[in-house]
Structures are given as structure tokens and as C-alpha cells.
Amino acid sequence: MAIDDWFSASYAQAREKFIAAATAAGAIVRSYPHPLKGPDGGDLAMDLAYLGPRDADRVLVTSSATHGIEGFCGAGCQTGFLATGLHSELPAGMALLHVHAHNPHGFAHERRVTEDNVDLNRNFIDFSAPLPDNPAYEAVHPWLVPSDWDGPARQAADAAIQGFIAANGMFAFQAAVTCGQHGHPDGLFFGGRAPTWSRRTIEALAREYLAGRRHVALIDFHTGLGPRGHGELISVDAPGGDEYLRTVAWYGDEVRTPSSGDSVSADVKGTIETGYHAILANTQSTTIAIEFGTLPPERVLQALRADNWLYLHGAVASETGQAIKREIRAAFYGEDSEWKAMVWERGLDITRKTIRGLADG
């Protein structure tokens, strides 16, 4: 099969391909149904495929669609891994768990967030403690959510944003917007005020399939930041920490850490990686996010603003709504064969390095 065949045009197609490939590979397939439906009325679920001994002491986990629409990338790689028999390369005592669509609702509706407008990768915090503040976001929030998209409110908001960027730089604006916030449910990068369905389901599957292992490694696939087609490796562990040193030993000096300022990502709290760490508190874990670039950052942020406006005020079926949907899809999915080949080759290389590192560790 050609690489293009593993990637899909919709969530429903991606899910169908993933389950078919997992079944053909002889995997244990499990589905966690989502309570809502897709835009076509179809079922949604977080699906997994488990290959290898049930009592394996080391498990490699791949995950897709933490950020909904970004799932086109990770799901394509996961289906390719299954179709090409990557699991046959596992050494004794190791298993492989593919988690398809952490956020199936966002994937199906081609949004980055969950059904409650929550950024899942900001949702893994302790909600019994005071919610974290983000004063920088407070300053820019009114500009991110104008009441119109083709009128004076949008024009005034855009002018204010350009003034902020001119005074502080693009990365400062990106950090203010993307670090996460818990004060504005109608805003961007909202981390929520309670655990989402996706978080609760991830915690359930991790307890069932990963608890009690000696070592769990996670590769979480993302898109939207960095040079087009390049997959930056991002560790949430602080430089010098045990996990950071382990990731450098596995992948080399290209590992980046947002806390040190050398990553395309801002320093984010409440991520999937920290969530898995908390769930597997008594298990050694090594986690990495791989971030594939698509469009320039200003276009990606503009697409997110537009999609949020559409969620709050617009109609998806309208001409404006369809234009917004085309742009956000382009912001998170490079649909050409060259981009898919770059993603596949990089994803396969990193996954094989993870297998080797987990085998030695």
C-alpha cells in the first residue's frame, strides 16, 4: 500500500481504517464509546489496539487526536504501523498499545478542542486546587473573540493584536494565547473547570492496560507548530531531570523542552504527558510529543480564532463557515503526499528509536 492510503479524509474513515488494520494485525481491539455523535450522525469512540503479551513489563503507547483535528496525522501513522507489521519488531516482554483519537469529538467535527470547548492538553491539572492564572491571556482575550468576523469588531481586534506583536514579538503573543487558561470558557486554549470525558477515559484505559508495568513509553502525535513537515520532539520534563536525560539518550540532542525556551511550543501545564505520569505514578514513564509543522504560526492562530468565532457565533454550513473549516483543516493537516511521506518517515523512525530505548531501559 502507498503511504497515502493510511491517511484519511474524515474521522469516520480514519476510524474504519484503524480498526480494520488492527483486526488484520491480530490486535486486541477495545472501544470506549463517546456519548455524542459526529457531524454525520455517526458513532464516536476512543479506540485502542493492543499487541503483545498482556503481562508485558514494558509497553509502548502511541496516541493520536489529543487535539481533535490533529488526529489526521497520528491516525495515519498508527494505521501504517499496524498495516506494515511494526509490532513484529517488538522484543520479548514488550507490548504496543495504539490509542486512536484521544478526542474523537474534536476529530470528527474538525475542531482542536473537545465537545465542551476544552483544550485536552491543558485539562490534566488538579481541579481540587485553585485554578492557575494566566494574566498574559487576560490581556489579549478580548481581541481573540470578536463579535463579528467580517466587520469592525474583527478589524479593531486585529489592529490591537498587531500592536501587541509589534511591541512584544510574535512568540510573546503565541505564549500568552497558548499557555492555557481557565477563566474564559468561550476563549482559546481553555483548560476547563473539571476533567473532560476524554481525560476520564484516558485515565480508565491507562489503569486497565498500563498499571503495574515496569516501564511505559508514550509518543503523542501533534501538528500545527514548526517548519512544514518537520517533527520536533518535545519533552515536558525539565532539562537535567531523569526523564529528560533518558529521552536524550533515546533520541539524541534534538529533544526540545518548552521550559528552557528552545521549543516551538510554549511552556504548557496540564498536558497529556503529565496526565499519564500522574496515572502511572508507580511506573517508570518516558513521554514525548512529536509536533509536525503545517502553516506559519500566524495563520494557525488566525485559523483557531476563526474556528472559535464559528463555534460561538457562526453557522458551519454557511459560506463563511465552510471557508473557516477549510482553513483550520489546512492549519493542522497537510493533505499532500509529500507532507504525509515526511510525517510517516519521521514517525516510523521515532517509534523505532522508542522501541530500542524501551528495550534497553
Tell whether 345 and 323 lie within a shared domain: no
| Cβ partners under 8 Å of residue 64, min gap 6 | 70, 71, 73, 74, 75, 77, 78, 99, 100, 101, 102, 221
Flag whether 190 is in a domain: no
Tell whether 119 and 149 lie within a shared domain: no
DSSP secondary structure letters along 298-323:
HHHHHHHHHHHHHHHH--TTSHHHHH
Tell whether 12 and 109 lie within a shared domain: yes
- CA torsion angle 182 186 187 192 (round to 10): 30
DSSP β-bridge partners for residue 99: 48, 63
CA angle 66, 110, 135 (to 5 degrees): 60
Q: Grid coordinates standing for 52?
A: 503483545
Q: Grid coordinates standing for 135?
A: 494574566
Q: What is the mean pLDDT of residues 124-147?
A: 94
Instruction: Give SS3 for 71.
Output: helix
**C-alpha Rg value of the chain to the nearest Å:** 20
Tell whether 91 and 123 lie within a shared domain: yes
Flag whether 91 is in a domain: yes
Question: Which pLDDT belongs to residue 268?
Answer: 75
Question: Which pLDDT belongs to residue 64?
Answer: 98
Which pLDDT tens digit goes with each residue over 57-69?
999 999 999 999 9
Flag whether 191 is in a domain: no
Tell whether 174 and 277 lie within a shared domain: no
Tell whether 224 and 255 lie within a shared domain: yes
Which pLDDT tens digit goes with each residue over 228-271?
999 999 988 878 888 889 999 999 988 887 666 666 676 778 89
Flag whether 272 is in a domain: yes
Q: Let me know if 302 is exposed, middle or buried by CB neighbors in 10 A (0-12, 13-18, 19+).
A: middle
In angstroms, the CA 113 to CA 100 distance is 16
- CATH at residue 19: 3.40.630.10
Q: Grid coordinates standing for 208?
A: 486497565
Lowest-pLDDT range, 214-218, 279-283, 318-322? 279-283
Question: Which pLDDT belongs to residue 20?
Answer: 98
Main-chain phi, psi angles of 320, to 5 degrees: -65, -45
- How confident is residue 282, by pLDDT bands cut at 50, 70 and 90? confident
Which pLDDT tens digit goes with each residue over 151-186?
999 999 999 999 999 999 988 898 899 889 999 999
Q: Grid coordinates standing for 100?
A: 486512536
Expressed as residue numbers, the domain containing 62 is 3-127+196-294+336-360
pTM of the model as a whole:
0.96
The distance from CA 291 to its chain's CA centroid, rounded to whole angstroms, is 8
Q: Grid coordinates standing for 128?
A: 481540587
Asked whether the beta carbons of 112 and 38 are under 8 A apart, the reply is: no
Asked whether the beta carbons of 301 and 174 are under 8 A apart, the reply is: yes
> Regarding predicted confidence, which is higher, 346 or 280?
346
Question: Which pLDDT belongs to residue 124?
Answer: 96
Question: Which pLDDT belongs to residue 139?
Answer: 92
Residue 264 CB neighbours (<10 A): 18
Q: What is the mean pLDDT of residues 96-125?
A: 98
Flag whether 39 is in a domain: yes
Tell whether 113 and 11 lie within a shared domain: yes
Tell whether 219 and 344 lie within a shared domain: yes
Distances (CA, A) of 162 to 158, 169, 173: 6, 9, 10
Crossing angle of helices 272-279/197-209, nearest 10°?
Answer: 40
Starting at the earlier edge strand, list the strands of the sheet with 28-37: 28-37, 43-51, 94-100, 58-63, 215-228, 284-293, 231-234, 255-256
Q: Grid coordinates standing for 3?
A: 503511504
Tell whether 212 and 116 lie within a shared domain: yes
Whether 42 has a pLDDT exceeding 70, the answer reads yes
Tell whether 216 and 232 lie within a shared domain: yes
In angstroms, the CA 261 to CA 265 distance is 8
Question: Which pLDDT belongs to residue 238?
Answer: 77
Which pLDDT tens digit goes with each residue over 314-325?
999 999 999 999
Tell whether 145 and 244 lie within a shared domain: no
Give the chain's mean pLDDT.
94
Flag whether 116 is in a domain: yes
Residue 298 CB neighbours (<10 A): 14
- How confident is residue 111, by pLDDT bands cut at 50, 70 and 90? very high
Q: Grid coordinates standing for 188?
A: 482559546
Flag whether 109 is in a domain: yes
Q: Grid coordinates standing for 244?
A: 529528560
> Regarding predicted confidence, which is higher, 268 or 122?
122
DSSP β-bridge partners for residue 233: 255, 290
Question: Which pLDDT belongs to residue 175?
Answer: 86
Tell whether 87 and 225 lie within a shared domain: yes
- How confident is residue 281, by pLDDT bands cut at 50, 70 and 90? confident
Q: Which long-range contacts (CB under 8 A, 24 or more apart) does 170-173 make?
A: 170/297, 170/298, 172/136, 173/140, 173/301
Flag whether 103 is in a domain: yes
Domain count within the chain? 2
